[in-house]
Amino acid sequence: MADNREVLVRPARPDDNAALLDLLRRTPQMGSVTLTFEREPDFFSGALVACEAPQVLVAEHGERPGHLLGMVDIGQRQQYINGQPCRVGYLHDLRIAAEGRGGRVLGALFRAIATAMQTPGSWMEAVILEDNLIPLGIVGRGRAGLPNFYPNGRITTSLLPGRQSRRHADSGLQIRAASAADADAQAMQQLWQQAASRQGFPVYEVEALLAGSPYYLGLRIEDYWLACLDGQVVGVVGVWKQKAFKQTRVARYSPWLAALRRPYNLYSRLFGGLHLPAVGDTFDYLHLHGLSVRNDDPLVFQALLEHVLAHQVQPRQSLVCGFFDDDPLAQVVSRYRRQTLHSRHFLLSYDHDPRPAQAHGHRHVEIARL
């Protein structure tokens, strides 16, 4: 590319679907396992799961319309901030094709983002994997045209194999599937509203779930599990299978890992562990979703987790959940066999640091929507 004028940024259109899916396949995350994060067969269905109001921007070559050099989504979703519902922007799915690297495409995308964030006091959030060294390096150095990235905590994502258990004292809790009767009784809704004290907890509506909102794609009321004590619902968690619209595919293993994959999978099958699929195949996992327990009681969460691992996670599947490292519920997950990934959470703004205005306390992350 000769100059910036050859990079055009515009909102994505429905007829960009094939090009967006191709761009995701062309921009793997490198490492000992090279992965592509895909959204087959419809990119926009996955975008509506990440954000209630997606805002996907694409960068294309001015002389080759439809050939995408990059993309980013800066959509918005409702979260509780300081106990009140708030529309929060989420910067994600940033992808730059190999032929678009060198700064021009990234600069063009962020100039469009700056235009979208012209409202004084506006801010958004982003999550970057610690293994994703290139964007972390860009954030760390700072760059003209980019917003300020304010570090806001570390997230540990856990992948837990099923069929494992931890002994614990009898809590008297009963675990059962939710039903339409629970929706009528407002039990789930009340627990979700009680979670408003957690910064960043999503604003969830049982009525929208029952109505088939695309924000809850593939979920039914029966996919939620309730913890009950003396007839009262004291905890809820959903189990969300997203493989029909969101995939993590293995593009390549490093030579040493490729050689060890089969014996590792045998060990995992015998003793429990993450199953490594063949090159070209996808990981099979379920997401914990919409977790809320009364008073952040770890015993309630453990009872729900025990039930899901024992009854919902099939052989070769994993259960994915994530917590900020200072979350007391994270200690429950740490007692189980698991593989972990670490990410950094940032708040972004062009004109101020948003962190002081947000009350201290436990922050929630919904891994299923990252």
Please tell me whether residues 318 and 169 are part of one structural domain.
yes
Contact call for residues 113 and 147 (beta carbons, < 8 A): yes
pLDDT in tens, 12-44: 999 999 999 999 999 999 889 999 999 999 999
The confidence band for 169, taking pLDDT boundaries of 50, 70 and 90, is low
Choose the final residue of a domain: 112, 127, 155.
155
CA distances to 36, 110, 159, 244, 364 from 322, in Å: 20, 28, 9, 21, 9
pLDDT in tens, 42-91: 999 999 999 999 999 999 987 787 789 999 999 999 999 999 999 999 99
In a domain, 300, yes or no: yes
In a domain, 84, yes or no: yes
- Among residues 4, 146, 16, which one has the least CA distance to residue 61? 4
CA–centroid distance for 29 within its chain: 16
Instruction: Please name the helix (run of DSSP H) or strand (run of DSSP E) that holds residue 227, with its range, or none.
Output: strand 224-229
What dihedral do alpha carbons 9, 6, 104, 39 form, nearest 10°? 40
Domain boundaries, position 287: 159-242+276-344+358-369
Hey, how many other C-beta atoms are within 10 angstroms of the C-beta on 147? 23
Task: State how many domains the chain has.
Answer: 2
Beta bridge partners of 57: 11, 72
The confidence band for 101, taking pLDDT boundaries of 50, 70 and 90, is confident
Assign residue 14 the CATH number of its domain.
3.40.630.30
In a domain, 262, yes or no: no
Please tell me whether residues 125 and 207 are part of one structural domain.
no
Contact call for residues 336 and 166 (beta carbons, < 8 A): yes
pLDDT in tens, 107-119: 999 999 999 998 8
Strands of the 285-293 sheet, one edge to the other: 76-81, 84-90, 124-129, 339-349, 148-161, 318-324, 285-293, 232-240, 224-229, 174-177
Report the alpha-carbon distance of residue 361 to residue 193 in Å, rounded.
Answer: 16
pLDDT score, position 241: 97
pLDDT in tens, 239-269: 999 999 999 999 999 999 999 999 999 998 8
Calculate what percentage of the chain has a pLDDT beyond 90: 80
pLDDT score, position 271: 82
Q: pTM for this one?
A: 0.93
